[in-house]
């Protein structure tokens, strides 16, 4: 714990700790790290120290093979966990879960109970570790549960270590859990993710067995590294605007003369206060087990990015939630508000989350690593083709997976990948799949070296393809990067979908290969079978591969010719979850039942409608209670000045013209407030699809019109009367 409450002193302390850590190098022993940061994670290492051997082995078996723990084991683990937490100052524990709100939820219980003799005993039973029962009735269930069936259960996820969340005067033991209804329906984001990881394991292991590369491999899982973009806004200014404080984005605001035109913020020097904040947030995350790695300025002023080292997907998803929460929590200590919204400012770059995804064996082999002589690496080609096939078949659903009201502002706006989902492979892999399509693979394109022409500079090795920032799903060396995820989104859902659809394709490809093999095939026969299957896959699905400029009109036209879906907004995208192929993928791999999928679709639609509804009402309020009165006051002052000038017998026809313009603008603004207000009042009830389209076409459209009139007023009304901080103030962070 940091001792001083002064943020700057804390920042210095935190960054010194951080430097000590880097100075000691990546080989710093776990104990040393513990000593520096006071690691607040009850991980396997802690369990090995504190559990009897047999119990420890049971935990490992539960983590690796999903073996069930006996009640006795659970009691022993709970006691050890409780002792550890109390030693570290925890007073309460909570089952920490991820309901469909997209946030995390917790309900705290005391770790101590009165002993009846004036003291307390500390207690955490195995039963309370393993299972909890929060009241589920107030979480979104999308019709999975009627309110009278309020029961919901949380179930311990032993694969994600418990951690201690702390503030100045509290410390709470957080136990990651899944959240299900009374009859076992998933009410959260973790349960389906864990199921999708199981599915992937089964299908990927099948492929390894076919290739005979499964020796010593216990499991295959997906790996994830999520890069997080965010804005920092001065906290006082943030709370001075109701749009920011309720919606996390500005609903009015005209562009200042200088924003990002000079590109002088991207990768620029990080301002001191921001660096202090970053160092402290990183130190906290590190303490919670999040392996944070990089930090830098982003494109827009006030925009930054943080990225961790990749981990197994389940853990990485939990850590991503911790990251978002920590950024928000620590920002306040430095006088900042951390804004995770996808588009806080119109006309300024928005924020996303790059979802780096790959496949790895438990022994650490990256199955999407092409290696040097890629054309000889048939197993890699199977995994590659499975991803291509999956993305082509389910492009619409992948698009839907990242569809939210906030993300709609970015996608297709030439700052984030377009709404058309395609796969970027780069020169080397594109050449490879073209060879596959022709039937044989005989070469691997090489990137070569870059000579910088100066003796003192090293020769750089060049990748075999450039980066393509416009692609939504790009192969980047040894992983795929889904770049279209919104910055405020939980990454659990996109990864659930990717795991599921890739499982389906691995299954299809493995089955087809198996069906071509009879008896005990020779190596040549096996290779021939694999190549012929992959040839078919490439032929059928290569249309989804695109290496060009995703922002261009030519691509939009070309994509249409290729028959790729172009779902421009959330109301267009969400129905993709209701297709037969979507249902079948989720059902076949036991990730979501039809009811569970339907409930999610309903929740996504309702969230979209509610978000826009809240924004619209906030906007009406700001317009009526802040902007309109300020504009009227401005109008009155000019009118008085005109009257006074004319009263003095001086010609004021110029000022009178100005007055007429203002009066006209104010009148149109007022009329548009009523248009928006009426649109809100006439929203249809019932059918969520209809509701979504209405929110977009009637409410959101009216908001855009009101905004442009409000922004025009901002440029006219005396700055002394303008009732809220402007973009210039919001965007200058020092």
- Which residue matches tokens 């809100």? 680
Out of ligand ADP, Mg ion, none, what residue 544 binds, judged by CB under 5 to 8 A for its kind, is none
Nearer to ligand ADP, 282 or 408 (CB): 282
Determine the distance from the C-alpha atom of residue 401 to the mean position of all C-alpha atoms in its chain, rounded to a whole number: 11
Q: How far is the CB of 381 from ligand ADP (least distance, A)?
A: 18
Q: Provide, rounded to whole angstroms, the least separation between the CB of residue 265 and Mg ion.
A: 18
CA distance 77 to 158: 11
* 455: helix, strand or coil: coil
- How far CA 250 is from CA of 392, 563, 619, in Å, comes to 36, 37, 9
Residue closer to ligand ADP by CB (options 478, 645) is: 478
| Integer CA distances (angstroms), 559 to 329, 388, 556, 567, 569, in order | 43, 16, 5, 12, 17
CB 474 to Mg ion: min, Å: 9
Among 354, 389, 399, 541, binds Mg ion (CB under 5 A): 354
Minimum distance between the CB of residue 704 and ligand ADP, rounded to whole angstroms?
33
C-beta contacts of 368-377 below 8 A and 24+ residues apart: 368/475, 368/478, 368/479, 368/480, 369/478, 370/428, 370/429, 370/444, 370/478, 372/444, 373/444, 374/428, 374/429, 374/432, 374/444, 375/432, 375/435, 375/441, 375/442, 375/443, 375/444, 376/441
223 binds, among Mg ion, ligand ADP, none (CB under 5 to 8 A by kind): ligand ADP
Q: Is 249 in the site for Mg ion (CB under 5 A)?
A: no
Which structure tokens are listed for 608? 């979209």
Residue 117 CB neighbours (<10 A):
7
Query: CA-to-CA distance for 377 and 370, rounded, in angstroms?
Result: 7
Within 8 A by CB and 6+ apart from 43, the residues are 161, 289
Q: Which does 319 bind (CB under 5 to 8 A by kind): ligand ADP, Mg ion, none?
A: none
Torsion, Cα 547 403 498 434, to 10 degrees, reads -20
Q: How far is the CB of 527 from ligand ADP (least distance, A)?
A: 26
Task: Tell me which stretch binds Mg ion (CB under 5 A): 45-53, 216-224, 350-358, 391-399.
Answer: 350-358
Which residues on adjacent β-strands are paired with residue 600?
Answer: none
Q: How many CB atoms lie within 10 A of CB 384?
A: 26
Measured from the CB of residue 350, what is the shortest distance to ligand ADP in angstroms?
18
Q: What is the smallest separation between the CB atom of 711 and Mg ion, expressed in angstroms?
A: 33
- With respect to ligand ADP, which residue has the nearer C-beta, 380 or 526? 380
Residue 353 sits in the site that holds Mg ion (CB under 5 A):
no
Which residue's CB is nearer to Mg ion, number 204 or number 391?
A: 391
The residue (of 352 and 412) whose beta carbon lies closer to Mg ion is 352
Tell me the closest approach of the beta carbon of residue 473 to Mg ion, in angstroms.
Answer: 12
Q: With binding defined as CB under 5 A, does residue 92 bind Mg ion?
A: no
Q: In the complex, what is the shortest distance from the CB of residue 218 to ligand ADP, in angstroms, rounded to a whole number?
A: 19
Q: Considering CB distances under 5 to 8 angstroms, the limit depending on partner class, which of Mg ion, ligand ADP, none binds residue 380?
A: none
Partner whose binding site includes residue 112, from ligand ADP, Mg ion, none (CB under 5 to 8 Å by kind): none
Give the C-alpha separation, 682 to 613, whole Å. 12
Kind plus residue range of the DSSP H or E element containing 124:
none
Residue carrying structure tokens 């920042």: 11
Q: How far is CA 99 from the centre of its chain?
A: 15
Nearer to ligand ADP, 469 or 693 (CB): 469
Q: How far is the CB of 387 from ligand ADP (least distance, A)?
A: 13
Nearer to Mg ion by C-beta: 481 or 572? 481
Q: Indicate the burial class of 707 (C-beta count within 10 angstroms; 0-12, 13-18, 19 or more).
A: buried
CB contact set of 355 (below 8 Å; sequence gap of 6+): 224, 226, 481, 482, 483, 485, 491, 494, 495
Q: Which is nearer to Mg ion, 204 or 498 (CB)?
A: 498
Nearer to ligand ADP, 73 or 305 (CB): 305
Binding region for Mg ion (CB under 5 A) out of 183-191, 235-243, 346-354, 460-468: 346-354
Between 185 and 298, CB nearer to Mg ion? 298
Question: Which of Mg ion, ligand ADP, none sits in contact with 308, Cβ below 5 to 8 A by type?
Answer: ligand ADP
What is the nearest approach in angstroms of ligand ADP to the Cβ of residue 359?
8
3-state SS assignment for residue 150: coil
CB of 590 to ligand ADP, least distance (A): 24
Residue 225 binds which of ligand ADP, Mg ion, none (CB < 5-8 A, kind-dependent): ligand ADP
Residue 463 or 646 with smaller CB distance to ligand ADP: 463
Q: Applying CB under 5 A, does 479 fall inside the site for Mg ion?
A: no
Smallest separation, CB 383 to ligand ADP (Å): 12
- Can residue 273 be called a binding residue for Mg ion (CB under 5 A)? no
Q: What is the CA radius of gyration of the chain?
A: 28
Using Cβ positions, the residue closest to Mg ion within the complex turns out to be: 354
Q: Smaller CB distance to ligand ADP: residue 11 or 288?
A: 288
Choices 157-165, 353-361, 487-495, 588-596 (CB under 5 A): range interacting with Mg ion: 353-361
Residue nearest to ligand ADP (CB): 225
CA separation (Å) from 82 to 159, 178, 440, 605, 626?
18, 20, 60, 41, 52
Size of the site for Mg ion (CB under 5 A): 1
8 Å CB contact between 673 and 620: yes
Q: Which is nearer to ligand ADP, 185 or 318 (CB)?
A: 318
- Which region among 213-221, 238-246, 354-362, 519-527 touches Mg ion (by CB under 5 A)? 354-362
Mapping DSSP to helix (H, G, I), strand (E, B) and coil, where does residue 42 land? strand
Displacement of CA 119 from its chain's centroid (Å): 45
Q: In residues, how long is the chain?
A: 734
Which of these, 285, 273, 286, lies nearest to 328 by C-alpha position?
Answer: 285
Angle at the Cα of 102 from the Cα atoms of 99 and 106, rounded to 5 degrees: 45
- Rounded least distance, CB 424 to ligand ADP, Å: 12
Judged by CB, which is closer to Mg ion: 289, or 417? 417
Distance from C-alpha of 138 to C-alpha of 333, rounded to nearest angstrom: 31
Residue 76 or 368: the one with the smaller Cβ distance to ligand ADP is 368
- Nearest partner of 329 among 341, 337, 321, 319, judged by Cα: 337
∠ CA 160-93-129 to the nearest 5 degrees?
Answer: 60
Per CB under 5 A, the segment of 257-265, 352-360, 527-535, 590-598 that binds Mg ion is 352-360
358 binds, among Mg ion, ligand ADP, none (CB under 5 to 8 A by kind): ligand ADP
Q: Which of 232, 302, 301 is nearest to 261 (CA)?
A: 301
Q: How far is the CB of 354 from ligand ADP (least distance, A)?
A: 6
Residue that is written with structure tokens 């709404």 in the block: 419
Q: Is 385 helix (H, G, I), strand (E, B) or coil?
A: helix
In the stretch 540-569, what mask flags binding to Mg ion with x, by CB under 5 A?
A: ------------------------------
Nearer to Mg ion, 310 or 526 (CB): 310
What does the alpha-carbon distance between residue 424 and residue 422 come to, in Å, rounded to a whole number? 7
Residues β-bridged to residue 94: 108, 174
Residue 479 contact partner, candidates Mg ion, ligand ADP, none, CB within 5 to 8 A by sort of partner: ligand ADP
Among Mg ion, ligand ADP, none, partner that 309 touches (CB below 5 to 8 angstroms by kind): ligand ADP
Binding site for ligand ADP (CB under 6 A): 223-225, 227, 307-310, 356-358, 366, 476, 478-479
Which residues of the chain form contacts with Mg ion (CB under 5 A)?
354
């Amino acid at each position: 714990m940091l001792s001083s409450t002064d943020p700057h002193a804390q920042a210095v302390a935190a960054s010194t700790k951080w430097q000590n850590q880097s100075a000691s190098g990546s080989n710093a022993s776990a104990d040393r790290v513990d000593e520096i940061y006071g690691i607040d994670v009850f991980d396997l290492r802690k369990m090995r120290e504190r559990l009897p051997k047999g119990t420890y082995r049971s935990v490992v078996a539960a983590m690796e093979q999903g073996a069930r723990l006996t009640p006795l084991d659970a009691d022993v683990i709970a006691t050890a966990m409780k002792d550890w937490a109390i030693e570290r100052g925890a007073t309460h524990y909570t089952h920490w879960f991820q309901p469909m709100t997209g946030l995390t939820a917790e309900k705290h219980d005391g770790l101590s109970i009165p002993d009846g003799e004036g003291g307390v005993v500390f207690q955490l039973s195995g039963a309370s570790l393993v299972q909890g029962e929060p009241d589920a009735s107030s979480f979104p269930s999308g019709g999975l549960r009627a309110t009278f069936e309020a029961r919901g259960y949380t179930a311990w996820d032993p694969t994600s270590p418990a951690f201690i969340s702390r503030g100045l005067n509290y410390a709470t033991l957080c136990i990651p859990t899944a959240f299900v209804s009374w009859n076992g329906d998933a009410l959260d984001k973790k349960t389906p993710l864990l199921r999708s990881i199981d599915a992937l394991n089964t299908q990927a292991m099948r492929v390894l067995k076919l290739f005979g590369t499964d020796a010593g491999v216990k499991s295959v899982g997906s790996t994830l590294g999520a890069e997080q973009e965010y804005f920092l806004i001065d906290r006082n200014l943030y709370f001075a605007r109701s749009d920011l404080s309720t919606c996390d984005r500005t609903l009015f605001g005209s562009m200042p003369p200088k924003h990002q035109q000079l590109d002088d913020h991207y990768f620029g020097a990080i301002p001191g206060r921001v660096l202090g904040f970053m160092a402290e947030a990183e130190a906290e995350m590190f303490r919670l087990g999040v392996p944070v790695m990089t930090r830098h300025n982003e494109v827009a002023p006030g925009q930054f990015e943080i990225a961790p080292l990749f981990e197994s997907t389940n853990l990485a998803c939990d850590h991503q939630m911790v990251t978002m929460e920590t950024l928000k929590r620590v920002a306040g200590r430095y006088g900042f508000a951390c804004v995770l919204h996808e588009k806080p400012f119109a006309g300024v770059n928005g924020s996303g989350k790059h979802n780096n995804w790959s496949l790895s064996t438990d022994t650490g082999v990256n199955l999407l690593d092409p290696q040097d002589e890629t054309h000889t690496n048939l197993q890699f080609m199977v995994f590659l083709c499975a991803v291509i096939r999956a993305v082509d078949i389910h492009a619409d659903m992948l698009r839907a997976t990242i569809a939210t009201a906030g993300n709609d502002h970015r996608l297709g706006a030439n700052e984030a990948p377009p709404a058309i989902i395609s796969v970027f492979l780069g020169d080397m892999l594109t050449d490879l799949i073209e060879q596959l399509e022709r039937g044989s693979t005989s070469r691997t394109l090489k990137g070569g070296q870059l000579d910088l022409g100066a003796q003192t500079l090293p020769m750089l090795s060049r990748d075999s393809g450039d980066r393509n920032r416009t692609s939504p799903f790009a192969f980047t060396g040894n992983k795929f990067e889904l770049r279209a995820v919104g910055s405020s989104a939980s990454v659990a859902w996109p990864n659930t979908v990717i795991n599921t659809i890739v499982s389906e394709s691995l299954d299809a490809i493995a089955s087809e290969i198996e069906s071509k093999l009879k008896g005990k095939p020779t190596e040549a026969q096996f290779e021939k079978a694999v190549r012929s299957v992959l040839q078919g896959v490439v032929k059928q699905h290569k249309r989804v591969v695109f290496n060009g400029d995703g922002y261009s009109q030519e691509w939009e036209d070309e994509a249409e010719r290729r028959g790729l879906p172009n779902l421009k907004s959330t109301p267009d995208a969400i129905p993709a979850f209701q297709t037969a192929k979507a249902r079948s993928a989720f059902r076949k791999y036991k990730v979501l039942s039809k009811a569970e999928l339907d409930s999610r679709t309903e929740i996504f639609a309702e969230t979209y409608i509610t978000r826009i509804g809240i924004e619209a009402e906030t906007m009406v309020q700001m317009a009526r209670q802040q902007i309109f009165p300020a504009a009227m006051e401005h109008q009155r002052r000019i009118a008085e000045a005109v009257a006074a000038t004319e009263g003095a017998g001086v010609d004021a026809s110029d000022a009178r013209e100005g007055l007429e313009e203002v009066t006209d603008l104010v009148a149109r603004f007022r009329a548009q407030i009523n248009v928006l207000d009426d649109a809100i009042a006439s929203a249809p009830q019932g059918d969520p699809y209809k509701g979504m389209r209405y929110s977009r076409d009637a409410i959101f459209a009216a908001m855009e019109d009101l905004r442009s009139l409000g922004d025009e007023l901002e440029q006219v009304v005396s700055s002394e009367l303008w009732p809220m901080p402007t973009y210039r103030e919001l965007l200058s962070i020092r």
